[in-house]
Chain A
């Protein structure tokens, strides 16, 4: 890393030369993000927003992937890319607001809450660096802190909600731990539900048994490790049990991963590798990582070959264009937040996922959200029998067949128009990839047509496929990858 030039412009602290960029590029940083999420969740505003809006319990891998991608954009060399991503995050957060169970309003744009998010990320990065035996020295810590403040400034316009220097940061942090946090439901959901129920990552999909075994051991261990590294006062306040041996386990794990990071080929511990695993079909890895993706492909092939498999297993779910039962469609596709009912945050999360994938600008994003909102009103009008503003599984099952209303078709058309970036009336292979990140594969015709760059999808086909999928009449590999998996 070349010595970073000193700039007065806060935005220029970020970029590929930043200390933070090298952390983002290290797969271990994922642990810091998880740990920071637990601390974030204790903030009353953030906890409420997470419980109501976030899909991370049902789709944690997608969320991790999106977080990594977003961080990478924030660290881009081009300030325009950073500004664009910051604007996108702001739009995304602006849509997240409401009132919690105690009737207090919350908003993802709250300056104090956002400062706390950045503070926990900073503290987690520092703590995990210390635990893995690579403590930051004073100047590095100041520099990293400056970068985190620049990140906040990029989002907020200023970083006033965070103290200006590291020595002033710790009293703020301790003060928040002592007074600003609550024992929110979100903490428990993350620690116990997320780790215990985390679905298989894309690589291991199709091997549920292997994943279940790994998760049974790894889930509690992960929860234990995260809890053990949390500040003592926080644990006391949140009533988190102090498990004997957890501290040693966590230090051993961090030290072990630290050593492994040094011993393993450098590329293996890069976040890009992790993203490759999260997204084996992905097309987005930079060329440098192409070779690496081959490695993860090899590893996945080996895992599949070595894991026992029922010799005559029937076709797996989602393999064919078989109709999905209304119940399963509800659970797997519609109920994105996994709370058992269909409400606006479920549809908003679909819009959010698509807007993020296509990197839409503000106007297109608005159109997409509008289309989703119209569909939501249509669903409410058609399905919400008791008028409580939510659609339950039962209400859905009773009227599922009438789902393909005009607003859904309109939504399909809007989605088509936003995905058809060159506006030529067809979705090309590249445009299709941007949306589904897989090679062009029209599900209707059964056979994926991977290599053929000329393969195109017309507006009529696209709308028909989308409506058939969203109304639960047909499952689809492409839409499964977008909205069901991870």
Chain B
């Protein structure tokens, strides 16, 4: 994949931040913020789909979030389930392949795990865009898991390269992230896909996630296109791809 129409990022990741603050500003319970986030998710998927983004990753729930009050976690799980079921046809009809990152946690309710597996199965053959939902995901944990997998595979130390290591990460076919959008003005990585974001551009729009809309997403893409990605060198040969080999 060469530059494309001047650097539409191939892989965009969104850290969906600001639901709680959005609700607090309106004196609503935090759960109301999560509920309002669904519209932003759908809008973003539509916008990415329309703009020709091939890979979209949404960071929905991190390993650390299990520490939130039980009621909120439970609500999030129910919301996730409802969204998956309600949007399955919408996603399938648009030719979007859906996958989930970090669904192995036994605390995930079996019904939700089943629905996620079904959605994955249903959309397995779609190729227009790959949507990865990072649910209960931790970047460090992925790296540790990859290291374990390498050790179990008995790979000799001198044969471990960046490329071979990446093959042991979950969904190894996922290309490096080109652009990360983190809403609500927060400027932290928060343990998100640490390996894959090594050369990513970061954009921090001020909007809280429930307010984030297609127009905001397109604006982020424009900002990205204006930036000159260097991959640490003088000039990159391509604006996207697997990173340096």
Q: Are A305 and B124 in contact (CB under 8 A)?
A: no
Q: Are A298 and B122 in contact (CB under 8 A)?
A: yes
A244 near B: Cβ within 8 Å? no
Q: Enumerate chain A residues within 8 angstroms of B119, measured Cβ to Cβ.
A: 301, 305
B121 near A: Cβ within 8 Å? yes
- Nearest CB in chain A to that of B87: its residue: A305
Q: Are B122 and A315 in contact (CB under 8 A)?
A: no
Give the residue among A302, A309, A315 with the most B Cβ atoms within 10 A.
Answer: A302
Q: Are A301 and B122 in contact (CB under 8 A)?
A: yes
Q: Enumerate chain A residues within 8 angstroms of B122, measured Cβ to Cβ.
A: 298, 301-302, 305
Q: What would be 30 A-B contacts, judged by CB atoms less than 8 Å apart?
A: A294-B124, A294-B125, A297-B121, A298-B122, A298-B124, A298-B125, A301-B117, A301-B118, A301-B119, A301-B121, A301-B122, A302-B88, A302-B89, A302-B118, A304-B114, A304-B115, A304-B118, A305-B84, A305-B89, A305-B118, A305-B119, A306-B85, A306-B88, A309-B85, A311-B78, A311-B81, A311-B82, A311-B111, A313-B111, A315-B110
19 additional A-B residue pairs with CB within 8 Å, beyond A301-B121, A301-B122: A298-B125, A301-B118, A301-B119, A302-B88, A302-B89, A302-B92, A302-B118, A304-B114, A304-B118, A305-B88, A305-B118, A305-B119, A305-B122, A306-B85, A306-B89, A309-B85, A311-B111, A313-B111, A315-B110
The 9 closest A-B CB pairs, nearest first, are: A301-B118, A301-B121, A301-B122, A305-B88, A305-B118, A304-B118, A302-B122, A298-B122, A305-B85
| CB-contacts of B64-101 with A (<8 A) | 78, 81-82, 84-85, 88-89, 92
Alpha-carbon gap, A294 to B124, bound state (A)? 9
Q: Enumerate chain B residues within 8 angstroms of A294, measured Cβ to Cβ.
A: 124-125
Alpha-carbon gap, A304 to B92, bound state (A)? 14
| CB-contacts of A292-329 with B (<8 A) | 294, 297-298, 301-302, 304-306, 309, 311, 313, 315
Give the residue among B78, B81, B115, B118 with the most A Cβ atoms within 10 A.
Answer: B118
Alpha-carbon gap, A305 to B116, bound state (A)? 9
Interface size on A, residues (CB 8 A): 12
Give the residue among A301, A302, A313, A315 with the most B Cβ atoms within 10 A.
Answer: A301
**What distance in Å separates the Cβ of B78 from its nearest Cβ neighbour in chain A?**
7
Q: Enumerate chain A residues within 8 angstroms of B114, measured Cβ to Cβ.
A: 304
Q: Enumerate chain B residues within 8 angstroms of A305, measured Cβ to Cβ.
A: 84-85, 88-89, 115, 118-119, 122
**What distance in Å separates the Cβ of B141 from its nearest Cβ neighbour in chain A?**
20
**What distance in Å separates the Cβ of B235 from its nearest Cβ neighbour in chain A?**
44
- Nearest CB in chain B to that of A298: its residue: B122
- Nearest CB in chain B to that of A307: its residue: B85
Q: Enumerate chain A residues within 8 angstroms of B78, measured Cβ to Cβ.
A: 311
Question: Chain B binding site: helix, strand, loop or mixed by DSSP?
Answer: helix
Contact of A298 among B81, B82, B89, B121 (CB under 8 A): B121
**What distance in Å separates the Cβ of B96 from its nearest Cβ neighbour in chain A?**
14
Alpha-carbon gap, A305 to B122, bound state (A)? 9
Alpha-carbon gap, A305 to B118, bound state (A)? 7
Alpha-carbon gap, A439 to B59, bound state (A)? 33
Q: Enumerate chain A residues within 8 angstroms of B115, measured Cβ to Cβ.
A: 304-305
Interface size on B, residues (CB 8 A): 19
| CB-contacts of B92-144 with A (<8 A) | 92, 110-111, 114-115, 117-119, 121-122, 124-125
- Nearest CB in chain B to that of A303: its residue: B118
Q: Are B118 and A309 in contact (CB under 8 A)?
A: no
**What distance in Å separates the Cβ of A29 from its nearest Cβ neighbour in chain B?**
29
Q: Enumerate chain B residues within 8 angstroms of A315, measured Cβ to Cβ.
A: 110
Give the residue among B78, B88, B122 with the most A Cβ atoms within 10 A.
Answer: B122
Q: Type the 1/0 row for A274-305, where 1 means its CB is closer than 8 Å to any CB of B.
A: 00000000000000000000100110011011
Alpha-carbon gap, A20 to B179, bound state (A)? 60
**What distance in Å separates the Cβ of A295 from its nearest Cβ neighbour in chain B?**
9
Alpha-carbon gap, A305 to B89, bound state (A)? 9
Alpha-carbon gap, A350 to B97, bound state (A)? 43
- Nearest CB in chain B to that of A304: its residue: B118
Q: Enumerate chain B residues within 8 angstroms of A313, measured Cβ to Cβ.
A: 111
Q: Enumerate chain B residues within 8 angstroms of A302, measured Cβ to Cβ.
A: 88-89, 92, 118, 122
Q: Enumerate chain B residues within 8 angstroms of A297, measured Cβ to Cβ.
A: 121
Q: Enumerate chain A residues within 8 angstroms of B92, measured Cβ to Cβ.
A: 302
**What distance in Å separates the Cβ of B165 from its nearest Cβ neighbour in chain A?**
22
**What distance in Å separates the Cβ of A160 from its nearest Cβ neighbour in chain B?**
53
Q: Are A309 and B111 in contact (CB under 8 A)?
A: yes
Alpha-carbon gap, A315 to B81, bound state (A)? 16
**What distance in Å separates the Cβ of A310 from its nearest Cβ neighbour in chain B?**
9
Q: Enumerate chain B residues within 8 angstroms of A304, measured Cβ to Cβ.
A: 114-115, 118
**What distance in Å separates the Cβ of A206 from its nearest Cβ neighbour in chain B?**
9
Q: Enumerate chain A residues within 8 angstroms of B121, measured Cβ to Cβ.
A: 297-298, 301
Alpha-carbon gap, A377 to B54, bound state (A)? 67
Alpha-carbon gap, A164 to B118, bound state (A)? 54
Alpha-carbon gap, A309 to B88, bound state (A)? 15
Q: Enumerate chain A residues within 8 angstroms of B88, measured Cβ to Cβ.
A: 302, 305-306
**What distance in Å separates the Cβ of B212 from its nearest Cβ neighbour in chain A?**
26
Alpha-carbon gap, A294 to B114, bound state (A)? 17
**What distance in Å separates the Cβ of B107 from its nearest Cβ neighbour in chain A?**
16
**What distance in Å separates the Cβ of A203 from its nearest Cβ neighbour in chain B?**
12
Alpha-carbon gap, A294 to B111, bound state (A)? 22
Alpha-carbon gap, A306 to B119, bound state (A)? 11
**What distance in Å separates the Cβ of B117 from its nearest Cβ neighbour in chain A?**
8
Q: Enumerate chain A residues within 8 angstroms of B82, measured Cβ to Cβ.
A: 311
- Nearest CB in chain A to that of B115: its residue: A305
Alpha-carbon gap, A311 to B115, bound state (A)? 12
Alpha-carbon gap, A313 to B89, bound state (A)? 23
**What distance in Å separates the Cβ of B84 from its nearest Cβ neighbour in chain A?**
7
Alpha-carbon gap, A306 to B88, bound state (A)? 8
- Nearest CB in chain B to that of A319: its residue: B110
**What distance in Å separates the Cβ of B81 from its nearest Cβ neighbour in chain A?**
7
Alpha-carbon gap, A313 to B115, bound state (A)? 13
- Nearest CB in chain A to that of B81: its residue: A311
Alpha-carbon gap, A315 to B111, bound state (A)? 9
Q: Enumerate chain A residues within 8 angstroms of B84, measured Cβ to Cβ.
A: 305
- Nearest CB in chain B to that of A305: its residue: B88
Q: Enumerate chain A residues within 8 angstroms of B111, measured Cβ to Cβ.
A: 309, 311, 313
Q: Enumerate chain B residues within 8 angstroms of A306, measured Cβ to Cβ.
A: 85, 88-89
Q: Enumerate chain B residues within 8 angstroms of A309, measured Cβ to Cβ.
A: 85, 111
Alpha-carbon gap, A298 to B120, bound state (A)? 9
**What distance in Å separates the Cβ of B100 from its nearest Cβ neighbour in chain A?**
14
**What distance in Å separates the Cβ of A314 from its nearest Cβ neighbour in chain B?**
10
- Nearest CB in chain B to that of A299: its residue: B122
Give the residue among B84, B85, B89 with the most A Cβ atoms within 10 A.
Answer: B85
Alpha-carbon gap, A311 to B110, bound state (A)? 11
